[in-house]
Structure 1
Amino acid sequence: MSVYRDSVCGGLAILGGIPGWAASEFIDTASVQKDNNEAVVWKKYITPEGKSILQQLVLKRKVKMAAVKARYVFAPDGTRKIADLVKSDSKLRFFECYPESDNEVIYAYLWPQDIHTSPDRWYYLGTDNGGCNFYVDNSTVVKGTEYASVWTKRLSPKGTWTIAHYTMRRRERSYTVPIAYSLVRLGKGGYIDAESFAKAAYPILPDSLEEKLYDAIW
């Protein structure tokens, strides 16, 4: 997914779409308010059925996270169906701007010097028993002597995917998956599901893809 910065009509910059998902996406460039730490911007989805969804986002620069402050849903005829508004900033729920997400694209549009989004970010590690290719996002590796975190992608032969955040423990040779986002279905009717496995620690088995990930980090 990419921002076409010169494809701006009426203040809307085309984001394109999440790979495998049918909705078109835009940001209202005229609505951008930002400083060195935070930004606020309106985002718009248009579904294949003609429904429009407007979201006001708050993005945090340092932690690369975003929250929805307001949300409005309109029928194809323009009738407003749903309106949601978070009245207090203390109640905003922030989520990661994970790789290839629409929020990451918006983040890159706002602070392009802070993020690497080119295709070569993904390094191929191998293929699992289900035929899914497994990649690591080299640009997201954060590591110390004992712990590391990194984003990975598992791409199925059908085109669906899972992008997961791994936390690796060097001494214990184990890992957890605090959050994973999955495209459940391609095209119309497709949606992205989020799951957390933060409390489950898994051993790094010999000859596994996780072992290849471990070896690539240390």
Structure 2
Amino acid sequence: MSTITATRSAAGFFERQVLNALSKMTLGKLDLYWPDGALISIGDGKGMHAEIRINNKEFFKCIALYGDIGFGEAYTQGIWDTPNITNVIKWVLANIENAPAVSGSKARSVLLNILKWVNKLSHIRRSNTLAGSQKNISEHYDLNNDFFALFLDPTMTYSSAYFKEEMLSLEEAQYAIIEHHQSQVQNLLNQYKAHIKIGASYVAPLKDNTELIRVTAMVSAFNNAATVTVLK
């Protein structure tokens, strides 16, 4: 009890809110280990046992502002870890009715919900002007074409290919899926629309080889992709 009291009394704002929310999740047992070795045990101790080791106190901010999404992303970033991720997930699911930060829970924490809305408003305020949108896209698509070129074909197409013959190359199979959709469109009497995610370099040869249909293209995300709309 003394360890819990000392840790809570020294806690920051986000830490206090998250610990308060976690204290309502009473089924089973969750052991929370701080970077300095401090331990808090949550739950009635019956049944399942999960363990979380906090490597960075950003852990609490991630949960307070982003809920279960922040919890998951914090794990992938190494902000926390566990010897058994399955047990952590089971513990959360068992307590979901009393977990205000988890999607699907009926529980509500007014303060945690307010924090999420404050965070949402900060995103709304991000300028959606041409310059602002360019900045936002750059931050979201942080992987450039050099990375995708390592495993995509020269057209940079990332929709499923159509290997109508076993020995086709990936590039040939990508052209095959376009031709397949084209033949479907041409055989329909009514208007048909097919959206195909393709590389920007794909648009010109597609238009050159298209008959009886109209092709429009919109390039997005700095030429990472284009969307082709095919109409009869």
TM-score category, normalised to shorter length = under 0.3
State the TM-score, normalized to the length of structure 2.
0.23
Structure of larger gyration radius: 2
State the TM-score, normalized to the length of structure 1.
0.24
Which structure's residues are more often strand, by fraction? Answer: 1
